[in-house]
Amino acid sequence: MLANPVAENVFGTLGTVCWTIQVVPQLVKSFKTKNTEGLSPILMLTWGIGAAPLGVYVIVQDLNVPLIVQPQIFGVLCLIGWGQCLYYGAAKRPHRTAILLTVGVMLLLGFFELLMVIALRSGYGISPFDRTPLGKEKPGVLFFGILSAILISLGLLPQYYEIWIHREVKGVSKLFMFVDALGGVFSVLSLAFKEKFDTTASVTYCMVTVLDGIVLLLALILNPLARRRRNRGQQIVAPISENANTSLSMQQLST
Question: Once rounded to an integer, what is the mean pLDDT over residues 158-176?
Answer: 85
User: Residues 129-158, buried b or exposed e (16+ Cβ, 10 A)?
Assistant: eeeebbebeeeebeebbbbbbbbbbbbbeb
Question: Sorting pLDDT into bands at 50, 70 and 90, what band is 129?
Answer: low
**C-alpha distance across the termini of the chain, in Å:** 88
Q: Which of 11, 62, 43, 52 shows the shortest CA–CA distance to 185?
A: 11
Mean pLDDT of the chain: 82
- Per-residue pLDDT of 8-50, as tens digits, reads 888 888 887 887 787 888 899 889 988 888 888 888 999 899 9
Instruction: Answer yes or no: is pLDDT of 127 > 70.
Output: no
Instruction: Answer yes or no: is pLDDT of 159 > 80.
Output: yes
Q: What is the pLDDT of residue 25?
A: 85
User: CA-CA distances (angstroms) from residue 129 to 117, 133, 138, 139?
Assistant: 10, 11, 19, 21
Rounded CA-CA distance 102/78 in Å is 10
Question: Sorting pLDDT into bands at 50, 70 and 90, what band is 62?
Answer: confident
Contacts of 216 (CB under 8 A, 6+ apart): 174, 177, 178, 181
- Per-residue pLDDT of 63-88, as tens digits, reads 778 778 888 988 999 999 999 999 99
